[in-house]
Structure 1
Amino acid sequence: MSLADSPGPCARTPARGRPRSEAVERAILDGAMKLLEDGVPLAELSIERIARTAGVGKATIYRRWSGKEELFVDMLRAAEPPDPELPGTSMREDLLVMLESLRQRGLASRASAILHNVYAQTKSSPRIWAAYHASVIVPRRRIALEVLRRGQRDGELRADVDVELANDLIFGPMLTRTVMRPEADLPEDLPAQILDTVMAGLRPVSP
């Protein structure tokens, strides 16, 4: 299973008879990011200003996004590392891939002052954060829960474990390191350390 198998963020249906242009969409997203890099606060970005910077008309943007909240979510997704393909061979391998993806996002945010700033501003805007949460975070969590339920069926996870709680126990430490403790190390072996430590208490006990 791939994270891409879930509904994409801000899935949009192009207007009938007007083919989508990836180059135009890229120019719009780049234009919005350029304004942020120039120091324009997220709250002060308008569709008109983004259109002017990207060299397109406002109607061109509205054919692709219903509003700036939806556009900002796609801008964040474009700036993030892509969602990984899950091997599907075992619960452990899939969870390791997902934890590594979180680690890479943390590294990207630390390496990019503008991306770090955008995340901070996104959380300060209830409407944009709600859009990001609904279209990005919720689908990712849903896939993680599916991986854990499959692990229960395959005997990798105890049958009595609450998968919602298990999800928080597994991904919580990485989120703490990447979001709440920006000074903390993110070593390459961190995903395996987290998973092995948590799974010591969650895997079935052999008779």
Structure 2
Amino acid sequence: MPTAGRGGPGRGRPRSEAVERSIIEGVMTLLEEGVPLADISIERVARIAGVGKATIYRRWSGREELFCDVLRTAEPPDPELPGTSMRDDLIVLLESLRKRGLATRSSAILHNVYAQMKSSPKLWKVYHAAVIEPRRRTALDVLRRGQENGEIRADVDVDLVNDLFMGPMLVRAVMRPDAGLEEGLSERIVDTVMEGLGPVKH
């Protein structure tokens, strides 16, 4: 997955996945030790990863872009969509969201990093642009294809409809830690919302 903030092909030396892995693992080690994000400097990461600061800056333009990749590594990967129908694609997207919710509940690192991110406007802005917004665009593309295929009505606002599909899972994953994220929840949400969005039957 391309990393936010990296320079173009002409900048720096060729990428080394082993070096990048050691840098990301260095940040993870600090987080596992309970070091707050605010205290994790590029200098500190360079020391623990055994690289120079310049090596990090060749790959990431700053701390925020590096932290985004650390989160991507800790989270379950984004799924490939089957493309068979809007319903199938939405279920896959919601299932990915459900698994990220489960991972956040079970991972002290993810839970703490998300909490700290939201108190850092600059980091949240970078994460939103690099991770959240592309995921939203993917979901909107799925919904537009569903409109074109007649799976949902052409007159509905896809931006609002996306919130209707994603909202219940986000509420359970983020705002209701006591709520279940059980198997089959993705299908139930998609089918419940689609029942009200289908073409009008005469």
Instruction: Determine if the TM-score, normalized by the shorter chain, exceeds 0.5.
Output: yes
| 2:4 matches 1:10 | yes
The 1:73–1:18 alpha-carbon spacing in structure 2 relative to 1, beyond 3 Å, is same
Deviation at 1:15, TM superposition (A): 5.0
Give the whole-Å Cα distance in 1 for the aligned partners of 2:18 and 2:116: 27
| 2:95 matches 1:97 | no
1:195 to 178, 190, 198: 190
RMSD of aligned Cα (Å): 1.3
Q: Extract unaligned runs of 5+ from structure 1.
A: none
Corresponding residue of 1:128 = 123
Give the whole-Å Cα distance in 2 for the aligned partners of 1:20 and 1:192: 40
Corresponding residue of 2:140 = 145
Amino acid across the alignment from 2:46: A
Per-residue CA deviations over 1:95-126 (Å, capped at 9, x if unaligned) read 00000000000111111111111111111111
Runs of 4+ in 1 over 6 A off after TM superposition: none
TM-score (normalised: structure 2) = 0.96
Aligned residue pair count:
201
Give the whole-Å Cα distance in 1 for the aligned partners of 2:85 and 2:121: 37
* Contact 2:98–2:173, Cα closer than 8 Å, also in 1: yes
Percent sequence identity is 72
1:51 to 46, 50, 71: 46
1:162 to 132, 139, 157: 157
Give the whole-Å Cα distance in 2 for the aligned partners of 1:54 and 1:114: 19
Per-residue CA deviations over 1:50-80 (Å, capped at 9, x if unaligned) read 0001110000000000100000001100111
Amino acid across the alignment from 1:74: D
| 2:175 matches 1:186 | no
Amino acid across the alignment from 2:98: R
The 1:11–1:155 alpha-carbon spacing in structure 2 relative to 1, beyond 3 Å, is farther
* Contact 2:5–2:65, Cα closer than 8 Å, also in 1: no
Q: Extract unaligned runs of 5+ from structure 2.
A: none
Give the whole-Å Cα distance in 2 for the aligned partners of 1:189 and 1:46: 42
2:35 to 23, 34, 40: 40
* Contact 2:5–2:61, Cα closer than 8 Å, also in 1: no
Per-residue CA deviations over 1:150-206 (Å, capped at 9, x if unaligned) read 000000011111000100000000000001111111011100111111111111123
The 1:14–1:24 alpha-carbon spacing in structure 2 relative to 1, beyond 3 Å, is farther
The 1:176–1:79 alpha-carbon spacing in structure 2 relative to 1, beyond 3 Å, is same
Give the whole-Å Cα distance in 2 for the aligned partners of 1:204 and 1:161: 10
